[in-house]
Amino acid sequence: MATIIKRNGSFRVQINRKGKRLSATFDTKAQAEVWAYQMEAMILNDENLEQEIIVNEALSVIDVFEKYKNTVSPKKRGFVKEKIRIEKLCRDPAFAIPIERLTNKALAVWRDKRLTQVQPLTVKRELILISAILNTAIKEWGVDLSHNPVQMIQQPKNPRPRNQRISEENKLKIIEQLNWDMKTPPVTTSQWVAFAFCLALATAMRRGEICSFTWGDLYLEESYIHLDMTKNGDERNVPLSTKAKSLLKLLIPQSKNVRVVAVTPDVLSSTFRKAKIAVGLENIRFHDARREATTQFAEKLSNPLELSAVTGHKDINLLRSTYYNPDASKIAKKLD
């Protein structure tokens, strides 16, 4: 018979029949009872239970990570990056332990050691991923953990937001290093990176957005670019200023399914990095162009909702604290 226990607002089911042990967690008792009935029937009928994780002493944390990488991650847009992160976690000896030994204390020890190796933001991202994996394992696969240990430890503090601005002088230095005259269509990889940099400064678009939109997404007459899928999962229309339209009009139109910017995100990043270092501007990142554009737009768009519609931010507070970096001298003049 199945045992159903209420724990922390959820209902945990445990089944032990014919040498097979299963467990899972559900939000309601009714869901738990239905699942228990179905699983017991499958066990009695000797049906295939490969889709379930059979709880045993040999199941390790790495086993759970691997199952998530192979079954859940491929369904996500950021599959490649997530796959790399999970493979790194799988190589960490800290996770070569039975799943039941992944306690709050064990995870806190791993967190503190990891903070000596990488930046706090990286550790925070890894913890978010581990938490997602464990939630899936507990609720979907029947892994016998009483709770998600990630939720029981302190998260690394967010680093202070960057406040790097991009002056016109620095912009021109980088573009000159990339060998583009800003008057003719880009041809080489370096010139395309310079074009993408200028477009980011004119639109506040992200790197991935710039490298992915096609000619079918560009509506020059209507003055916007349609982004079907953005980082936060939503679509949005990016308004185009006169400056942005002038940039895009330099290009030779192609068929609808051809990408407007002929460079991949990874090549863009590596080429931009080399150029900025060559001119002594190591502190500038490509993403700072989005911050610079947002700050300039904020001077023209007093309504924060209009500004968030342009940049695609859902969180107004994040938009204000992280991306809006006004010049105090300009604000002071407005006070007089």
Q: Active-site positions?
A: 206, 231, 313, 323
Pure H helices in the chain: 29-44, 61-71, 79-90, 104-114, 120-140, 168-177, 189-203, 207-212, 242-248, 265-278, 288-300, 304-311, 316-318, 328-335
**Paired tokens of 167:** 């002056």
Residue 13, judged by CB atoms within 10 A of its CB (0-12, 13-18, 19+), counts as buried
Q: How many CB atoms lie within 10 A of CB 279?
A: 16
Q: Partners of 218 in the beta sheet?
A: 225
- Structural contact between residues 49 and 24, judged by C-beta atoms closer than 8 angstroms: no
- Structural contact between residues 210 and 256, judged by C-beta atoms closer than 8 angstroms: no
Helix H or strand E segment including 22:
strand 20-26
* CA angle, residues 328, 308, 131, in degrees to nearest 5: 105
Helix H or strand E segment including 227:
strand 224-227
For tokens 């300009």, the residue is 330
**Measured between alpha carbons, how far is 305 from 308 in angstroms, rounded to an integer?**
5
For tokens 């200023």, the residue is 241
Q: What is the DSSP letter of 93?
A: G
Residue 308, judged by CB atoms within 10 A of its CB (0-12, 13-18, 19+), counts as buried
- Structural contact between residues 176 and 191, judged by C-beta atoms closer than 8 angstroms: no
**Measured between alpha carbons, how far is 87 from 62 in angstroms, rounded to an integer?**
9
Q: What count of residues does the chain have?
A: 336
**Measured between alpha carbons, how far is 17 from 162 in angstroms, rounded to an integer?**
57
